Amino acid sequence: MSQPEKWTNRALIAWTKSFFEKKGIENPKLEAEVLLSHATGTSRIELFMNYDDEPSEEKRAAFRELVRRRALGEPVAYLVGVKEFYSIPFAVDSNALIPRPETEQLVLETVEYFKKQGWRTGSDGVRRRSAETEEDVAAPPAPEERELKICDVGVGSGCVSVALAKNIPAARVVALDISPEALEIARKNVESLGLADRVELRQSDLFAAIPDDLPEEDRFDAIVSNPPYVSESEYATLDATVRDFEPRIALVGGPSGAEIAVELARQAPDRLKSGGRFALELSPTTVEIVAEELKKDARWTGVEIRRDFAGLPRFLVASRAQ
């Protein structure tokens, strides 16, 4: 590739886009812009407004290092240390999975479920649209003036717990993870987003930190999880950007990929209120296996597989039998 006379923002992005294309990187221009924005400490909008400015040599050197690491497969989210999820910016590092767009649907499903139960949801949680009158009307009151208890198993960066707490004002979330390193990044996000009083973090192997003999009133209204669900054989075929940089412990669910999810479903009823909600994000290759296990267990009812926005079977929902 020919070298420009001046390394302006425009030239840096154009050169890097071409370089990333040759490396087979998806969205090469977007990734070049994100990395340059991070290296120069400016927003992407500011880059567009100052396309012909020439960054300092120090900033260009920082950008070159980011480009080098990206070309070796390191994810952009880890390079810039942040990833947006459910319109919320989360700090991320290699100790936890990068939040995926698919997982936003797990949050959406849960928020919508409680909305239908009458709980206030959303940023203000107090108004909704009437289809009959085309006017804003007051939202229904919460079923009770009480705390809504949710457990998030496998908290990772904290994205699901935080999104649920932000969008269900009455919710208090107990967030579990076996990894102390993942809990540390989750703690950083919980505190920086002002939710330390409503999201409690505990180190736990599945439900080990939650007693199985809780009285009914202390059990959870909902348990949600995006557990490890990749099989041992699938792991070897994952894209190197995922396999070589994201934590294996958060990816592999056992030989078939379903083992951790099945054990989670076995333990969950003892912590869930009668009629309580259970929602999992799984792989299209494992969701049927886990669903069949739930159907064999009389403690579960209403077992249902739901598809993601791409039409793939990905989510499993059920209720604790009354």
| Mean pLDDT within 135-159 | 74
Vertex 103: Cα angle to 312 and 43 (nearest 5): 120
Lowest mean pLDDT among 133-147, 161-175, 200-214: 133-147
Which residues have CB under 8 Å from 199's CB, separation 6+?
158, 161, 162, 165, 172, 173, 175, 190
pTM, to two decimals: 0.89
The average confidence (pLDDT) of the chain is 92
pLDDT tens-digit series, residues 238-248: 999 999 999 99
- Looking at the DSSP assignment, which residues form a beta bridge with residue 82? 91
CA distance 2 to 16: 12
- Which amino acid type is present at position 192? S
Q: Quote the tokens at residue 272.
A: 């869930």
pLDDT tens-digit series, residues 107-130: 999 999 999 999 999 743 333 333
The kind and range of the H/E element at 240 are: helix 240-243
